[in-house]
Amino acid sequence: MPPRASQPQLPPAPARVRAVLPLLDRLYPQAKCTLDHQDAWQLLVATILSAQCTDERVNLVTPALFARFPGPAAMAAADPEELMELIRSTGFFRNKAKSILGAARALVERHGGQVPPILEELVKLPGVGRKTANVVLGDAFGIPGITVDTHVGRVAKRLGLTKEDDPVKVEFQLMELVPRERWTLFSHQVILHGRSLCQAKKPRCLACLLLPHCPHGQGLTQA
């Protein structure tokens, strides 16, 4: 890690967010969900599968999965062993199969086989927390939501937008700082930033356009 000089005082978080948003637009103008999907159901399943797994791996698995079980009704009647085999390569396949089957059955029983565009209803589905619900709302229904995955949590903390580790607390703090119409786009942009530059072990601070507004990177100089 390069040496740190004395750290200048940065403006408060709301002002820094206003400065960072256009920079994220410059860096990631085409940011969007990287999970392939045709509808809300497919996105729900893909997001469940993406836990502890890359989106690229999920995208390799889902075509055969959705060809075999094209909707909640078909998935609700799926043989668990067959489902587990189809999703095995995504990891934690037993728990994921249980969640997907449970969600499919709940949708059939409670919602007529349709994914409800309501956060409070989505989080009642097996295997669906606020992160998954916000992904589905934002990218399948166009309803703004902050998605706090490991990347968003890490980048938000380094930017000094939160001191919390709990994803729900981070979500609510970011909701206060980021304009509502930007919530979904902001989430995708920060996820990409966490993957490409603000990585967990070796953040590329000196290559980062956000460096002047980032408490974590303040004072860094070339070694």
Known catalytic residues are: 131, 149
First CA to last CA distance, the chain: 8
Q: Which residue has the tokens 């502890």?
A: 52
Considering only the C-alpha atoms of the chain, give the largest distance between any 2 of them, rounded to a whole number of Å. Answer: 62
Measured CA to CA, the distance from residue 53 to residue 32 in angstroms comes to 18
Q: In this structure, how many other beta carbons lie within 10 angstroms of the beta carbon of residue 131?
A: 23
CA–CA dist 32, 113 (Å, integer): 26
Q: Where are the alpha helices (DSSP H) in the chain?
A: 13-27, 40-49, 55-68, 72-76, 80-87, 93-111, 119-122, 130-140, 150-158, 167-177, 183-196
Task: Confirm if 136 and 149 have CB atoms less than 8 A apart.
Answer: no
Q: Which residues of 15-30 are buried (b: 16+ CB within 10 A; e: fewer)?
A: ebbeebeebbeebbee
